[in-house]
Structure 1
């Protein structure tokens, strides 16, 4: 029988090397760095993906000069100290038959000097829309330093036993892309003013890179397929010609294609609801321009079907994945074995992006990310003496605990008082734009079907029933429920008074959960009041607006959903909501409700204003831990572990993380 993904698992020649299949793990930050170098956690991280069956791995972008340090956790590719760790990494990855490449790069204007206390370098003094720091205009001596940095990076990659070098900085609006684009290169010297001059630095770096690694190693480039809607930016036809000009040198072995700049970062790493494979058409045009070279396509390539089609249709020769392989490092093996239902899906939540702001890389529902040596594939220990364990709560945390407990050999019963599994993830998934989030619960449900876990739906576990069941241990994952008192965080004393904000007990005041469960009970004019700044309020606002309610999103904060800056989609979400007609009102809190009149208070001036008619008011003001069962079990002396929101209402990630830890301890 012909394999459904036959093209995906064909070997392919890339210059002097052969990849065992067409799956390429593209570069992404891990924040596992220490002292600007790789660590043993890196070794375990990359080895885990190689063991999972990927054909090629490009490691995270590595600095070619001290001026490109957006944060401490950046590898210095220009420092010979990387060589011994390259050797460790290449040995670990090669053991599983994958190729391993370095990715030297420079951010140019898309950074600041906060960490390194150095000026930002760029071809012209135009600040980045994200960092907004005025750059130093590079002179020819600065340019020579950058070329030398790329040269050293290539030399050390070869000395470290890697399989090649991917020259980065062209894509995503980084330094070389800034030189290439007339939007950001206003120079009149030999590095600006014409297409030939703007390409000069790129060709100099590629020539030096090839010289350093010789003919036995791979040299490739990462380019854009489209800069996006940037005035005078480079579009697909421009990038296709750039690819052709670089290919004409005869110095490169492949082209990897991405999209976007920091002016439109949702082309680089988009969240849901961006469709899978959105970069395929642009990549196809690049491939047509350089038919003799392998071309890599990326952009939410999450399903084996989409990956196979991209290659079979001739759009590309290989499929690049980053977040897909963060979510499930065994994606290639599972696809090859046609175990599609077992693939843990990337749901486009971008928790991975948010995590690296202040901590190492993490995935919203793969707790092993960054801790592969302790929690990765093959680390789960079987119990010698199975125990009878009750898990109370069928949200993501409870299901994760039940799954891991069962996989270790325990006898597990999962209690859920509702009629379905999924918990609060199901609320979010009711919104069309966030329907993919439902796969967090969906994957766990699928995996539980292959275990011996006994699932009791519509059953509320109590201290008495659990005691009568004779369980050896209990995991409490009872979650949280929305607060209804209406007070913002600006009034902490009110939270303990027992009083409610005047009018919030009216029938037309509801919680986010109630609004998402049945929007038809709400009137045409809806106000959503947000005191959190997280994704919750924008989810419900977008859902209601799409279902023909007119929504005003009021927040006590200075902007709507500022925490989405971490997931990088705050601008994209604002655009979607405002285009749909949602009205934003920041710096206000609800002061009272009287039938269909809502009084708002300015959080800075204390001035008030009224809105009418407000047919329905949706409160997004936090949650309270549902911990009564936990305390009851503790008082009864039962062996119990609490996870997730019943400890403290937080994120899906925290519930799954704590579930995995608890299940490994029992």
Structure 2
């Protein structure tokens, strides 16, 4: 038996959990037709077989037709969900993992123009900032119907073999009843007392218990303190917990703090990189100490040391490490085996959550196998025949290629023109708030060092340097260089600098500064944050919204900083040209919506326009390769090996990845490397 607090079993009523680590409810948006089919099951099974004790699935499963998914949630109101739930529960149980599900009615947090086009319902007429749908004020028959829907959904989950469930209260319909800010009903469910505000949730739990019996675990995930004037206060949060305990309605509490009705509020409940670790842990610990019910909690607990402290100091009974398990599904197994240094770190980028809204599925910024368990391996098998591999570039894509090739047992040599690894990630990590991003590079460098990858830094590799090694495979991961040409123009823009110049510290901003941002990514906003410390900054974009690739949660800290520094945000305006007039730069400003042009003076103009491939070496090597650089897209899309032969006299296979192909992002570069190298 281990003495590690995290590896101690925990008795939750009749259920024995094998350790203290769980994945809390989250919806990766992998269901198909509202059902948790093979992709969904494989995602959770990967973590279960590696040792996680409890998987709280869904985030959340919808109990009613008038609670259509905000994004591809499980539909718990359909009877056909039962066999899919059973497949999921059976496989996780086979791996020794307990499995529960989170149920919800979203209330005003969803919209009428989805699903069956039924009006959303809530105990308030007011829309929610994040979702902007005006709900119908619930009538008595709506309340009775939804309570029954919850109970019926619970019965389906029990029939599917789940060990229990929790109802989602913060931000969702139960919380909309018990928060004074969102309850304007009259009658027994109205805002007049705490008992009347919590009556809906208490009746839901009581009706569920009638349906599922005492051997099925019930809990709530709720905000102990909405941290908003007029909302549920800390004192009321404790009163609600005592009410649920004293009426015997719940077997556990899953607690958090804050609200989720806007991006700004959600970013405090789900903290991003640059924020303190475990900001609500001590608060959750007080709930556990004062209420005495089994207590779960998750909020930026990304590392084993913090999780161990939470359990060892009695703050929690079960510690949620959800994003950490998206980065490394084998986290628990590595703790058990004494390989904590081998754990792929969560860097807090929150690409996983923002990606749901941008692309309809959760993906980890630097584990491309997450969510692709049916086609991509988390563990790289050793190849039958060792080969010689040369990689050029040590950005995230190049290092991933080197890591995977070395894990396959190949002889790997890496060339890098700079003195340090990292590529654009190293620029990103110059910002204090985003310095954790360097973990993407540090982990891969450690993995490569453990597998004897040979590195040549300060080396601008030429074709002769590569061919002299007689490689079997060459991967060009040389990234891109800043694009200096405006939209559909063929000449580089004169007199401007780039966001990279600001991020690197090579240029200091001063005076009146324009940042023209057509890339819409992090680099433009990071440059604005830095420039605003020493200059008056305007960010201009031709889009109708700025930084569309950054998305809501990650946009929040940028907006906070930029608004505090009085940065001007200008949308739907396009930079057409720049000329120098004595000591100032004159920007010619136009728009896609009008032919009107105007001149505006600035002291500096910073361009953030994405990158162009730095691919000269690739084209030098292309005629020497067996595939002439070609990629079999069908094989690539289906996770199959690359076997194209376009030049029988070629000496090696050649591929380029990441921004050396086209300007994309970190995840794309890593995914390129994984699916090209995993079968080499």
Same fold (TM over 0.5): yes
1:43 to 37, 41, 44: 41
Per-residue CA deviation, residues 546-568 of structure 1 (Å, 9 max, x unaligned), is 4x444332333334323333x53
Report the equivalent of 2:391.
391
Distance 2:128 2:458 in 1: 54
> Please, which of 6, 12, 15 is the counterpart of residue 14 of structure 1?
12
Unaligned runs of 5+ in 2: 626-651
Cα shift at 1:645:
0.8
Q: Which residue of 2 aligns with 1:112?
A: 111
In 1: Cα distance, 2:89 partner to 2:349 partner: 31
Aligned to 1:55: 53
Q: CA deviation at 1:582?
A: 2.8
Specify whether residues 16 and 461 from structure 1 end up closer, same or farther in structure 2 by C-alpha distance, changes over 3 A only.
same
> Contact 1:228–1:261 (CA<8 Å) still a contact in 2?
no
8 Å contact from structure 1 (residues 431, 540) kept in 2: no
The offset of 1:394, in angstroms, is 0.8
2:633 corresponding residue in structure 1: none
Q: Are residues 1:89 and 2:77 paired? A: no
Are 1:544 and 2:531 an aligned pair?
Answer: yes
Q: Which residues in structure 2 correspond to 1:595-610 (within 5 Å)?
A: 595-603=583-591, 604-605=593-594, 606-610=596-600
The equivalent residue for 1:639 is 653
Partner of 1:456: 456
Moved over 6 A (4+): none
Does residue 382 in structure 1 map to residue 368 in structure 2? no
Superposition deviation, residue 48 in structure 1: 0.8
The partner residue of 2:571 within 586, 611, 616 is 586
Q: 1:543 to 1:344 in 2, by over 3 A?
A: farther
* 2:560 alignment partner in structure 1: 575
Aligned residue for 2:407, secondary structure, equals: helix
Normalising to structure 2: TM-score of the pair?
A: 0.90
* 3-state SS, counterpart of residue 319 of structure 1: strand
Contact 2:278 2:301 in 1 (8 A): yes
Cα distance between partner residues in 2 of 1:602 and 1:233: 45
TM-score, length of structure 1 as denominator length:
0.92
Q: Measure how far apart 1:640 and its partner are.
A: 0.4
* Mapping of residues 156-305 of structure 1, within 5 Å: 156-168=156-168, 170-171=169-170, 173-192=171-190, 193-229=192-228, 231-259=229-257, 260-263=259-262, 264-291=265-292, 293-305=293-305
Aligned to 2:543: 557
Cα distance in structure 2, aligned partners of 1:596 and 1:315: 59
Q: Which runs of 5+ in 1 are unaligned?
A: none
Is 1:529–1:619's contact at 8 Å kept on the other side of the alignment? Answer: yes
The 3 A distance-change label for structure 1 pair 413 and 294 is same
SS of the counterpart of 2:103? strand
Name the residue aligned to 1:73. 72
Q: Report SS of the residue matched to 2:587.
A: strand
SS of aligned partner of 2:354: helix
* Corresponding residue number in structure 2 for 1:34: 32
Contact kept? 1:243, 1:289, Cα under 8 Å: no
Q: Distance in 2 between matches of 1:581 and 1:375?
A: 45
Q: Is the 8 A contact 1:90 1:100 kept in 2?
A: yes
Displacement after TM superposition at 1:2 (Å): 8.4
Taking the aligned partners of 1:327 and 1:593, their CA distance within structure 2 comes to: 47
User: Secondary structure of the equivalent of 2:474?
Assistant: strand
| TM-fit CA distance, 1:373 | 3.2
Q: Match of 2:630?
A: none
Residue 527 of structure 2 corresponds to residue 513 of structure 1: no
1:550 touches 1:582 (CA, 8 Å); kept in 2? yes
**Matching residue of 2:614:** 626
Q: Is the 8 A contact 1:599 1:611 kept in 2?
A: yes
1:409 aligns to what SS in structure 2?
coil
Offset, 1:284:
2.6
Which secondary structure does the structure 2 equivalent of 1:369 belong to?
coil
Residue by residue over 1:51-86, the C-alpha shift from the partner in whole angstroms, topping out at 9 and shown as x without a partner, is: 222111100110000122235622111222122222
Residue 24 (structure 1) aligns with = 22
Deviation at 1:324, TM superposition (A): 1.4
| Partner secondary structure for residue 143 of structure 1 | helix
Q: 1:608 to 1:363 in 2, by over 3 A?
A: same
SS state of the match for residue 421, structure 1? coil
- Structure 1 CA distance for aligned equivalents of residues 20 and 188 of structure 2: 39
State the partner residue of 2:629. Answer: none
Residue 575 of structure 1, CA deviation: 1.9
1:441-520 correspondence runs (5 A): 441-485=441-485, 487=486, 489=487, 492=488, 494=489, 497=490, 499-501=491-493, 504=494, 506=495, 509-519=496-506
Q: Which moved more, 1:642-651 or 1:325-334?
A: 325-334
Please state how far the C-alpha of 1:648 moved relative to its aligned partner.
Answer: 1.0
Offset, 1:329 = 1.0
Q: 2:393 touches 2:479 (CA, 8 Å); kept in 1?
A: yes
